Structure 1
Amino acid sequence: MQSSTRRFACTAVLGALVASAAAGKVAAHPHVFAEARLEVAVAPDGQVEALRHVWRFDEMFSSTVMLEFDADTDNRLEEPELREIASVISESIAEFGYFQVITANGKDIGVKPVDDMKVLFDDGQMIIFFTTEPEEPIAITASPTFGVYDPTFYTAIDFYDDSNMVLEGAPKNCTRTMVVPDPDEAIAQNQATLTEAFFSDPTGNDLSKLLATRMEVNCR
């Protein structure tokens, strides 16, 4: 029986991707690549209102998804097929906190279930859009951090430009910084926590979180 950490890959991906997932372990390097954009919206009362996500996937992964869900084999996806893909993605990444982490006041904060997942294809690439909301109130003046990462290391979610992390509606004294961690430095600083168990179950370790590209907010 396939493990939950491989559910999305084995549901949506065929061929080589499925073969690698079925080998018995999730390798600690990505097989799927996505270019991301994150917009953090702040309400007038200073509370974090929503996180709006856009992920554009690589052409190889997108083509295998097309083949998997193009039920009538007409080489295009109709609305029912796109809704099915959206449902599969939403259900599959929900158990991993939608591949994101919010940290404020020294603790991680979860997000509410997503109900607006949308999928489209553009120029041979699959793009998904969805919104998350924090499970509990977060004041932007608490200088929270917003990271996006796949704890299984199966998907690399990258922000290729600083402009792809946006802070909207925050007070003028709040600034945001995109932080791209150095893998070697992260591993060196956390060497004591890395064991063989990590490589057989990446979700049991915080290294993927440490390697996540993140938005750090500072309000002075």
Structure 2
Amino acid sequence: MIGLLRRAAIRSALIAAVLALVGFGTAEAHPHVWVTSTSELVYAPDGSFTGVRHAWAFDDMFSTYALQGIETKEKGVYSREELAPLAQTNVESLKEFAYFTFAKVGGKKQKFSEPVDYYLSYKDNVLTLHFFLPLKTPVKSNELSVEVFDPSYFIDFSFAEKNPVSLVGAPSGCTMNFQRPTDGSATAQRMSEDNFLNGDNSNYGAMFANKIAVTCP
């Protein structure tokens, strides 16, 4: 994935350079890849939070780009087996970026292990990466928060309109609140934009974070 993203970044940089030459200003922080996500927060029978199961559907342009050079038995049809090497490359690349998934339990940051049960599917010209991201240590808590975003805002993460997030195996009485970036306060967004314009773009993408909060009795 990262190799593909870097190649896409070079191409986008060339486009930006051309625009600059003809007099158009461009912002450095803007997405080049779009992902639509559906996610599950997974709990063990004892009520401990164990990890996040993601399904990330890439935009059709990136999907087409990523599939270049992959040989298939039937033109336009990609089996899970044929996509396996690309799936492995993708999940291995994600480690450098903390899997774009950030969790806190009881206000304390949690660490994830490497993804498991990963594979790629292809349908309707869209490539989707499926994987389970386990916590290094499952933990019980009545407060859990998960955010999904790219700090650099190179990738734009949005969640599906229908059933974007669900709880799997959560204890009885747990409630979930899901907040899209567009639900955030205008003040916080303006402050983030000001920081970016002042040269601090290290975590610009946090302004576009998808936020999940779970409260259990």
TM exceeding 0.5: yes
Partner of 2:134: 133
Q: Which runs of structure 2 are paired with 1:9-48 in the superposition (5 Å)?
A: 9-10=5-6, 13=8, 18-21=10-13, 27-48=28-49
Evaluate the alpha carbon distance shift between residue 50 and residue 196 of structure 1 in structure 2; reply closer, same or farther with a 3 A threshold: same
2:79 touches 2:121 (CA, 8 Å); kept in 1? no
Distance in 2 between residues matched to 1:10 and 1:70, nearest whole Å: 22
TM-score (norm 1): 0.79
Checking the alignment, whether the CA contact within 8 Å between 2:38 and 2:55 is kept in structure 1 is yes
* Structure 1: runs of 5 or more not aligned: none
Name the count of aligned residue pairs.
206
Matching of residue 148 in structure 1 with residue 173 in structure 2: no
> Aligned ranges for residues 19-168 of structure 1 at < 5 Å?
19-21=11-13, 27-70=28-71, 74-77=75-78, 81-141=82-142, 143-161=143-161, 163-168=163-168
Matched residue, 1:178 = 178
Gaps of at least 5 residues in structure 2 are 18-26
Q: C-alpha root-mean-square deviation of aligned residues, in Å?
A: 3.0
* SS of residue matched to 1:44: coil
2:113 & 2:190 partners in 1: Cα distance?
Answer: 34
Match of 2:21 in 1: none
SS of the aligned residue for 2:62 comes to helix
1:213 aligned to 2:210? yes
| AA in 2 matched with 1:34 | V
Provide the rounded CA distance (Å) in 1 between the counterparts of 2:186 and 2:159: 19
Give the structure with the higher percent strand.
Answer: 2
Residues 162 and 145 (structure 1), Cα distance of their counterparts in 2 relative to 1, 3 Å cut: farther
Contact persistence 2:50–2:137 (CA under 8 A): no
